[in-house]
Structure 1
Amino acid sequence: MGNFSHNPSADVRSAFEAEIAKELCSSLDEVADGRIKVRHIESDFANLPGVDFTLDLDADGSPVRIAVEALRYAYPRDVQGAVWKLDEFKHAYNHDRFDDLILLVAAESLSPGARDLLRKRGIGYFERNGNLNLKWRNWLINIERPDPPSVRKEATSLFTDSREAVVHALLVNRHKWLSGGDLAAMSQTSPYTVSVVLQELERREWCESSGAGRTLRRRLHKPRELLAAWAAQWTRRKEQRSSWYFFSERPNLLLTKLTDKIESSNPSFDWAFTGTAAANVYAPLLTSVDTAEIIVPPGEAEGLARDMRLKPADKGANVVFVERDGASLLFRDAVPEYPSYFASPFIMYLDLLNGRGRNKELADHLLEKLEL
């Protein structure tokens, strides 16, 4: 077998390629019960423009060459780049010594979408956990193994205070191609936070990308999956809530009357209606709602309630202050019939997942209107 050339500027990369080449050779020998023998490994870039290394095989007495592109943790976008390199190598390939050429991607780990893309393109793949998919003539090798515990990585949390602001921005702008700078401005977060979220969404294959460098843009293409993941986390959180009573002769005027009171108090902070009453304005379903929920920043509920002359109420309350900041008050919306601030429909949807009354039914109705 040949030796991998030593390049001081790429020691880690060379070591990785050498290791994965050795493991691929061992796997081929094991699954073919000795019918495949590796005769030579070539890794000299001068002889292999475009690919990382090749394996020269003797398969049932026939000379076969496997051209390999090596990747670390690969997702569809990474694999697409490898496919282009392998295709270029194939088109420039000299068949004098080897009539058969097999194209293959070897990786530390491939995402399900990456494996699917390779299968559709007819390109083999190998993963360090032992997964191997390879077609040659009438041979089909397809080995699927679970990842060992050391390879399984805990998913990055998408729903810390700052990261869920990026999630919120992506959901609101789900049909748009956005740069990292666009998302940072919309979500009022740092470029680093945006980058962490986008990397995790790519890992889960919930967003797609276009371009590279300064022209790189992403678009959320699985908004329902992202919203479901946010909902699962949302229902587990604990937050400060307080209940109050406000006299209103007609429940259907509750939001209007409360808006007047809030505006008269002239708060120095943002606020928004959410929950059942607000959602029923956005996506009408219920004939009557007699309780209003209002999002205010932490520590502001008691002072605003006092300015509005509300009365504390454990029973018979019709106003609930929910103390939150961050994503909850981003993308507030106005409804023409009400001179009020409403939380975005995504926040309203999440706040309906509390199991109270007909909130689940209203949440489903709101979700239909969002057309995810």
Structure 2
Amino acid sequence: MTWQQKIDDALTARRSADALRRRHAVVQGAGRWLSAGDRQYLNFSSNDYLGLSHHPQIICAWQQGAERFGVGSGGSGHVSGYSVAHQALEEELAQWLGYSRALLFISGFAANQAVIAALMAKDDRIVADRLSHASLLEAASLSPAQLRRFTHNNPEHLSRLLVAPTSGQQLVVTEGVFSMDGDSAPLVEIQRTAQQHRAWLLVDDAHGIGVTGDEGRGSCWQQQVKPELLVVTFGKGFGVSGAAILCSDSVAEYLLQFARHLIYSTSMPPAQAQALRAALAVIRSDEGRQRREKLASLIEHFRAGVDTTAFALAPSHSAIQPLIVGDNARALQLAETLRSQGCWASAIRPPTVPAGTARLRLTLTQAHEKQDIDRLLEVLHGAV
């Protein structure tokens, strides 16, 4: 088989399964409204849960940071790309979340890849929730460690996998709020199970940080759990982009020596770090609390309204509200129906989600108004 045949066959298989991914060039896509072509849509596909991507205070911080530092960092943080803006953000994050250190990464994907690649060795074992994010499962698969997967949110199955003999270390991996199902991990039970087997716990709280817990400190704070490794990302609740790993002093020093994503990648622009500091200030403020309360109210209103339709939602009380359809073609058809009625929603299909669980991944944000939710519900009522 030639290269071209291999590529053509893979694309043909995706098309025949109604699983081909496509991008849409939008004029504006982060806020309440999404603009594409000459149309505007109510946007139910944004991860900007608190509506901070257009916050004037955060925009101003980025502009001022660009005027002071320029638009790029100029290099890896190990060479010349680690600025006082990066240092200040790391210190504020560590203090806020109760850790000794925080290390910044260009993305959550990079952070997850970096920590697993740096820590895991041949005789080690990774035991991950089977619905963990692709960045975690791919990193585990590429590492020399053994990968085992436990049934979603099932500490008993986790315990059975951890008890198997191993000569190395064990790392338990889960998300705080799951990106496709919107449900939360039982972190207290998972941490207890990990500790019983002398395993470390890594929690990716990309979809919880900023949105849940006191001051938006996230899922772990909300459940009073402190994992050895906490990954937080800034493209959701913070409304920007980037990520950080929260850890001990010794782990931070180790990662600075051995995490290749840190050593060989250009660091985020200092102006971005300044914007993230401004976002953190908003999240921690009374305004941030009010934004979280409004989002919670919209979620409750939406879930109550869906109960009167023919559709069923996954059991999620987060901003992620998956409407499980099952069939790929039906999910695509439903997404198109919503768009024809002015509501933008994305159809998520395998392999992103398990086979037979194609869905509309509806996301609500603080930028929405109650009438927006009512419009979405009205369209869903007519889409049966």
Q: TM-score, normalised by structure 1?
A: 0.27
**Higher-Rg member (1/2):** 1
Higher relative contact order (CA 8 A, sep 6+): 2
Higher share of residues assigned strand? 1
